[in-house]
Amino acid sequence: MPELPEVETVVRQLAPRLAGRRVARLVVRDPKLAGARRRDLAGRRIAGVARVGKRIVLEFASRRRGESPCYLEVHLRMTGRLLWAEGWPVTAGAATGRRRLPPPRAVLVLDRGAVLFVDPRRFGTMRWSRERPRPGGLDPTGPGFTTEALARLLAGAGTPLKPWLMRQDRLEGLGNIYASEVTYAAAIDPRRPAGSLTREEVRRLAAATRRILRAAIRHCGTTFSDFQGVLGTVGGYRRYLRVYGRAGEPCPRAGCGARIERIVQQGRSTYFCPRCQR
């Protein structure tokens, strides 16, 4: 599932292509997205593209005085992708430079070009909102993410640390890949109760979270199977992962040499070094 760096990548790639464009229509082809249909989009200008947690939010300006702006929230879930097609109508393969592409579930047609919502497993969602969506938890890339704020959230939590990091009502945007990487970088056992961390460990956890997310965003996220940017390119951070997906390999930290282990926490794989993360 795309996490914060992947969604931020999509937003940063879409924003300059969509800003100021006029909408022609939204074509919804999948009955599961029937609630995304609107008749009042034609002529609206796209005022902005933003990320809220793991959601992509498109803002559509009002067309006349007295009309309210509206917001479309897109959640990619497991296999969703937003792909940019410079010319439309054209074949989806030609639009993205790929030979094969599943039919889009929805197409946002603009005055020039279009955005294709492709989602083979059909878990992704599109939802309208009258007000600007708000995050459900603290954004770990925002100015409010400090050691003090993280310590307040962790206080008294009995959940193991790694599953706690994935709670979207606490930190919005982290998922399985980066939660393993963050606990490794902070040298904290992912099985520790989240509320048991010392002040120094919370400081290390906050610093590791900011550092890893920023690096992943610079490399356009991580692709294992489905994630693609808006032009069909894949994320490049996979080659920088230190523990995720590396069970049985030597710990990459200098002087360690212990084997990376894999355990299951709340149904998800967790990777860690048993020596560095005591």
Predicted local confidence at residue 95, as pLDDT = 47
Predicted local confidence at residue 90, as pLDDT = 52
Predicted local confidence at residue 234, as pLDDT = 87
Domains of the chain: 4-129 (3.20.190.10), 147-272 (1.10.8.50)
Query: In this model, does residue 92 exceed pLDDT 60?
Result: no
Give the confidence band of 94 by pLDDT, cuts at 50, 70, 90. very low
Catalytic residues, by residue number, are 2-3, 54, 268
Q: Which of the pair, 202 or 63, is modelled with greater confidence?
A: 202
Mean pLDDT, residues 8-30 taken together:
96
Predicted local confidence at residue 28, as pLDDT = 97
Query: In this model, does residue 99 exceed pLDDT 50?
Result: no
Give the confidence band of 100 by pLDDT, cuts at 50, 70, 90. low
Predicted local confidence at residue 149, as pLDDT = 98
Q: Which of the pair, 165 or 88, is modelled with greater confidence?
A: 165
Give the confidence band of 65 by pLDDT, cuts at 50, 70, 90. confident
Query: In this model, does residue 125 exceed pLDDT 70?
Result: yes
Mean pLDDT, residues 167-196 taken together:
97
Tens of pLDDT along 233-269? 888 999 999 999 999 999 999 999 999 999 999 999 9
Mean pLDDT, residues 28-57 taken together:
95
Mean pLDDT, residues 47-72 taken together:
93
Mean pLDDT, residues 85-101 taken together:
58
Per the prediction, the chain carries an average pLDDT of 93
Query: In this model, does residue 23 exceed pLDDT 70?
Result: yes
Mean pLDDT, residues 54-58 taken together:
97
3-state secondary structure the chain: CCCHHHHHHHHHHHHHHHCCCEEEEEEECCHHHHHHCCCCCCCCEEEEEEEECCEEEEEECCCCCCCCCEEEEEECCCCCEEEEECCCCCCHHHHHCCCCCCCCCEEEEECCCEEEEECCCCCCEEEEECCCCCCCCECCCCCCCCHHHHHHHHCCCCCEHHHHHCCCCCECCCCHHHHHHHHHHCCCCCCCEHHHCCHHHHHHHHHHHHHHHHHHHHCCCECCCCCCCCCCCCCEHHHHCCCCCCCCCECCCCCCCCECEEEEECCEEEEECCCCCC
Query: In this model, does residue 229 exceed pLDDT 90?
Result: no
Give the confidence band of 87 by pLDDT, cuts at 50, 70, 90. confident
